[in-house]
Structure 1
Amino acid sequence: MSWEVVLTADRGTFTDYNGSSPLGYVACLPSRLVPRYFMDKFFTPPIKAYDTGEAFVAPYGLRKVEAILAKNGISVVVSPPEHLEKAIDRNTKVLGINVHDPYALSPVTTKLTMIFGGGDSWTSKFFKELGEKVKSLKLKYGFKVIIGGPAAWQIALDIPDWVDAVLDGEAEIDFPDLVKKIENGEQVPKVTYGRMPKVEEIPTIIKPSRFGEVQITRGCPRGCQFCSITPETFRSIPMDDIIKEVKLNIDHGIRGIELLTDDIMLYGSKKLQVNHEALVNLFTTVKKLGATHIYFPHISAPGAKSSPKTVQAIAEIAEYDKYTAEAPVVGLESGSERIISKYMRGKPFPWTPHDWGDVIIDATGIMVDNNIHPCYTMTIGYPDETDEDIEESIKLVQRMIDADLKAWIFPLPVIPMTASRLKGNEFPWIDTIPTKYWDILYLSWKHSIKVTKDLFPYLTSEMRNPIIQWVVRSMNDRVFSGVEKVFKELAETKGKVSEEYGKVEFDSFTGTVKTLYYLATLGLKSRRLAKSPVSTGNAY
């Protein structure tokens, strides 16, 4: 069977992370620190495909583009990168590639590669490997390559010679036109900026998505300057479309539903006001359709604080007392009133920048009380940020620690994404990041490691393979004790010790053998401890 368009992504995106999406952050580490065997088996295993090369399930972004093209009468298939040779033939006109972090410039990857001594992350290594395969197939079959997705802005900075066009922005309006022009032999711009479709122009997906992903909102109205999402883009997806996509996934045996949004509390909202009835109706409907689990990737602190009854209601409907909601991302950004006021004044609404610290503390308590454990991200490195600003952030983090709130906190560098209002900034690195960054980094990671240890059984509960689940759980204490030591050294040396970490190499035969030996001895130790009738306290 042949298709006009084949859609794919590199392995860092086209995986199900063994059923535990937080494991995807491992791909943000320098590739030399994690053996490929572990990426293939534990952290980023390939998604299965039919004999034709078509994926069983696929990331939501690819499924959405598939639906867009099908709506426009273009034959299309989504194929994992490992199966492209089966899906592509002489009838293929276009290969579309979705990218999330091809050059390792995302905030998380920038931070992790910086503090661990540089080098290719697994995200960039996976993209390079895909590029080599695509170049070979393109030489054989002569198709054109279009790259899009959340990190298309990275590709636009340095377009590889095997890429014919980049679509930066939304796909509904402009991507079908690009494909048709290429099929007709017309010239297309090297970079096209995708226009924003009306909500009725967004089609529903036609085949099942990874994790049962279903989009419920698109965009964000808060207008933070460091973010590429502009305020005018916010839309709530109609309930009928959400129902169609939930039913589609459940009909394919996927009963865990991930509600994709930049802020779950904004579904159905107007002017940033929580719509309690809309959210309760959303969760109730999804549950009645047969979902066993209902999760979401993002929530806001102001949304949670402004409507505790809504947080409680959705937690009860989704049974978070049984299926804990782990690590939805929340933007904390800064503890400095000055930074909040200047760069993200709409962030605290309906409160003011002066109230921001109390909003964070109160909202965290509300979420944790309802078995929602947020993952806070902070942004450090604004052009005029001072040590005094970062000291205010440290004080806010310490307040969370003193309150023993089970929430992760990860300080990230400000990245000058080309669609943001800070695009003129320099990219951060050891010698440009504020010196106080290392203090807040250690304080936050020390707390986050404790939270991870406490919640690790919940984080790994959805992993399908019990052996892999055991291996990952067995790594917990010793691995995180080592990580805490790393961040302490970084704080003490103001990041200089990262040069030493740059010499560490595990992605080799010797490194893999050492890692496997470590896990084997750890497993034997775990079994001995389990058999011991006497409590051993802290075994590590």
Structure 2
Amino acid sequence: MKAVSEGFKVVLTAEGATASDTLGASVAGFISALPDSYIKPLIARTYFRVKSRNGIAERAPYGLAKVEASLVAKGVVSRDEVVIASPYELDKVIGSNTRVLGIYVMDPLGLSFGSGIVYWILKLAGLPYRGIPFIARSFLEIFTNPAVKAHRNHMKIVVGGPATWQLTDTGYHRKLGVDVVYEGEFESLGPSVFSRLLRGEPLPPVVSAPPAKLEDIPTILTPANGGLVEVSRGCGRGCSFCTPTLSGAIKSLPFEGHIDQEIRVNIERGGMKDINLHSEEFFRYGAKGIEPNPEKVIELTRKAYRLVKSYGDEYTISTDFTTAAAVAYRPKMVEEAAQYINEGDRRTFIEMGIETGSPRLLRKLMPGKALPYTPEQYPEVVEQAIGILNDNRWVVVGTMIVNLPGETEDDVIYDLELLDRIKKLRVITFPLPFIPMGALRHTYFTILNKMLLDPVRGQFILEALSKAFSEAAADMDMAVEKMENPFAKVIIGRLGKTLASMLVKRYEEAMSELASRRLKVPEVSESYTTLRTTAY
């Protein structure tokens, strides 16, 4: 261990909300989109804890763990020259020897889908919205950290992650003094970018990287929050607004020598009891095209199950993402995989990007979403797929997007009809606001309010949130199941169920108010306006 005054050559970190494992239950990180007025410092440090030793994180966001592994695998730095640090203890790892600070971001300015949903949740429940999203506040605090300010003159700052567009579109990367914004998969150009920075070579302010080659993706060295293990990357369905589309066709990572190694790292070094087999579309692991390859999916699931069970009966596997089309097309594959993932009477969550019920928007913006089905068949496919997943003990988190480019009232009516089809199924229907990037600078709240005040869109948002929190109240025990502190599990579980039930009641009351168009547009938070317009 180097002396504190020296620091490490490369320090990697993330905003506190992203760096945290949220008491062991990553799904509970949703509250990071709440305004910072709701999350006081003591609550933040307790709920958004980062387990660390001498400032070095014991677990890390998966994307950040991949960055660290890539730098070491490509020989950019040695293993003892790079650390993933707790954002709360940067003074222990940044020093005179530090040359690059890498910051991983999920929602740096609070402009993501998640922050928009939370705005709607509070607004429609009649609760005040003051301040800026906590996740944005925790990002900005990195730049005002005393250790960062003290060593800024000899340290380059690189920001990367799935939400860097928020910085480049608003110009905030310049206002914050970010040296390089890295967009795209790190393994392709990231190591060379860091090498050039360490050599003192100039770089453009924004680097856009192509998809990485499969052979360039390393295995993680630091255990991942949530026990994440990437099994495939990309999907190839071609949705015009989706980040995984940039990765191109699906790339499936091998089990032997890669997936199995990451499982062991997460269990042996990270102490994880559940391994999350992460992908953009789990049921197409091993596929060469759109159609699933059931043999490969079941082989992966069986091997992962047997490996984790070798550590004890209490160890489990999960997965996180799927599409409706893959599930509906190969129901027997889903049933067989569930025998390993949801063994016995175990239930888990799985996310499905439903996005829209409109055949016209599917054809225009998501040409591969319904394949091998047609856009006209898609609503029925969604209903069937959720039913299949429910039958196999999955509760679906289904996202639906409002304000897609070119969306008309007729398109939203299709969404309402789809919502009605699935209302009796076990699905948490989250409405996501689509905000055109060019409109972000000064009109974020205005656009969100316009969606609420539109009679048809407002009705859809209310109905979707009402269904979402009705289901969430019933599933709160699942949401907190992985929390490692039994006391926190009980308290947060009960509080969450109470709040979810309260929100449902308020949404039901708001339905008639919306119909009479009496909802008032709130004043935009002064502190949020400051964030949007003031240079740091």
SS of corresponding position for 2:18: coil
- Distance in 1 of aligned mates of 2:233 and 2:152: 38
- Distance in 2 of aligned mates of 1:503 and 1:172: 39
Match of 1:130 in 2: 142
- Distance in 2 of aligned mates of 1:385 and 1:203: 41
- Distance in 1 of aligned mates of 2:176 and 2:467: 45
Residues 1:260 and 2:278 aligned together: yes
Match of 1:59 in 2: 61
Distance 1:500 1:193, change over 3 A: closer
Residues 1:274 and 2:315 aligned together: no
Q: In 1, are the aligned partners of 2:101 and 2:157 still within 8 Å (CA)?
A: yes
Q: Which amino acid aligns with 1:469?
A: K
- Distance in 2 of aligned mates of 1:22 and 1:168: 25
Q: Which amino acid aligns with 2:357?
A: G
Q: Which amino acid aligns with 1:177?
A: S
Q: Which amino acid aligns with 1:305?
A: A
Match of 1:195 in 2: 210
The farther-off stretch of 409-418 and 392-401 is 409-418
Deviation at 1:367, TM superposition (A): 0.1
Deviation track 1:114-138 (CA, whole Å, cap 9, x = no partner) reads: 5535541111111111221177435
- Distance in 2 of aligned mates of 1:6 and 1:244: 24
- Distance in 2 of aligned mates of 1:134 and 1:486: 43
Q: In 2, are the aligned partners of 1:330 and 1:375 still within 8 Å (CA)?
A: yes
Q: Which amino acid aligns with 1:144?
A: K
1:464 to 480, 484, 487: 484
Match of 1:451 in 2: 471
Q: Which amino acid aligns with 1:68?
A: S
**What is the root-mean-square deviation in Å for CA atoms of aligned residues?**
2.6
List runs of 5+ in structure 2 lacking aligned partners: 124-128, 310-314, 528-536
Match of 1:82 in 2: 88
Match of 1:483 in 2: 503
- Distance in 2 of aligned mates of 1:223 and 1:134: 44
Match of 2:166 in 1: 154
SS of corresponding position for 1:430: helix
SS of corresponding position for 1:395: helix
Q: Which amino acid aligns with 2:435?
A: I
SS of corresponding position for 2:483: coil
Match of 2:449 in 1: 430
- Distance in 2 of aligned mates of 1:247 and 1:85: 31
Residues 1:296 and 2:319 aligned together: yes
Match of 1:531 in 2: none
Q: In 2, are the aligned partners of 1:438 and 1:490 still within 8 Å (CA)?
A: no
Deviation track 1:332-385 (CA, whole Å, cap 9, x = no partner) reads: 111122222221121011100000111011101100000111100001112322
State the number of aligned residues.
496
Deviation at 1:322, TM superposition (A): 3.9
List runs of 5+ in structure 1 lacking aligned partners: 506-540
Match of 1:244 in 2: 261
- Distance in 2 of aligned mates of 1:248 and 1:24: 23
Deviation track 1:160-211 (CA, whole Å, cap 9, x = no partner) reads: 3331111011111322222222222211110001222210011111232222
- Distance in 2 of aligned mates of 1:335 and 1:476: 30
Q: In 1, are the aligned partners of 2:57 and 2:84 still within 8 Å (CA)?
A: yes
Distance 1:146 1:406, change over 3 A: same
- Distance in 2 of aligned mates of 1:204 and 1:71: 9
- Distance in 2 of aligned mates of 1:174 and 1:164: 16
Q: In 2, are the aligned partners of 1:97 and 1:147 still within 8 Å (CA)?
A: yes
SS of corresponding position for 1:436: helix
Distance 1:432 1:138, change over 3 A: farther
- Distance in 2 of aligned mates of 1:47 and 1:313: 37
The farther-off stretch of 274-283 and 202-211 is 202-211
Deviation at 1:496, TM superposition (A): 6.6
Deviation track 1:481-516 (CA, whole Å, cap 9, x = no partner) reads: 3312443455423787464597899xxxxxxxxxxx
Q: Which amino acid aligns with 2:159?
A: I
Q: In 2, are the aligned partners of 1:116 and 1:498 still within 8 Å (CA)?
A: no
Match of 2:38 in 1: 33
1:48 to 37, 44, 51: 51
Q: In 1, are the aligned partners of 2:59 and 2:223 still within 8 Å (CA)?
A: yes
Residues 1:221 and 2:221 aligned together: no
- Distance in 1 of aligned mates of 2:52 and 2:473: 35
Deviation track 1:220-242 (CA, whole Å, cap 9, x = no partner) reads: 21111222333625311122211
Q: Which amino acid aligns with 2:272?
A: I
TM-score w.r.t. the length of structure 1 is 0.86
Distance 1:7 1:311, change over 3 A: same
Match of 1:6 in 2: 11
Q: In 1, are the aligned partners of 2:449 and 2:521 still within 8 Å (CA)?
A: no
Match of 2:342 in 1: 319
Q: In 1, are the aligned partners of 2:239 and 2:367 still within 8 Å (CA)?
A: yes
2:25 to 9, 14, 20: 20
- Distance in 2 of aligned mates of 1:391 and 1:140: 53
Q: In 2, are the aligned partners of 1:115 and 1:498 still within 8 Å (CA)?
A: no
SS of corresponding position for 2:415: helix
Distance 1:477 1:259, change over 3 A: closer
- Distance in 1 of aligned mates of 2:339 and 2:298: 10
SS of corresponding position for 2:215: helix
Deviation at 1:69, TM superposition (A): 0.5
1:393 to 415, 424, 431: 415
- Distance in 2 of aligned mates of 1:443 and 1:79: 42
- Distance in 1 of aligned mates of 2:40 and 2:343: 35
Q: Which amino acid aligns with 1:407?
A: V
Deviation track 1:131-168 (CA, whole Å, cap 9, x = no partner) reads: 21177435466211001111112122221333111101
Q: Which amino acid aligns with 1:363?
A: A
Q: Which amino acid aligns with 1:151?
A: A
- Distance in 2 of aligned mates of 1:112 and 1:174: 35
TM-score w.r.t. the length of structure 2 is 0.86
Distance 1:144 1:503, change over 3 A: closer
Q: In 1, are the aligned partners of 2:250 and 2:287 still within 8 Å (CA)?
A: no
Residues 1:373 and 2:395 aligned together: yes
- Distance in 2 of aligned mates of 1:136 and 1:110: 30
Percent identity for Structure 1 against Structure 2 = 29
- Distance in 1 of aligned mates of 2:63 and 2:29: 16
- Distance in 2 of aligned mates of 1:490 and 1:342: 33
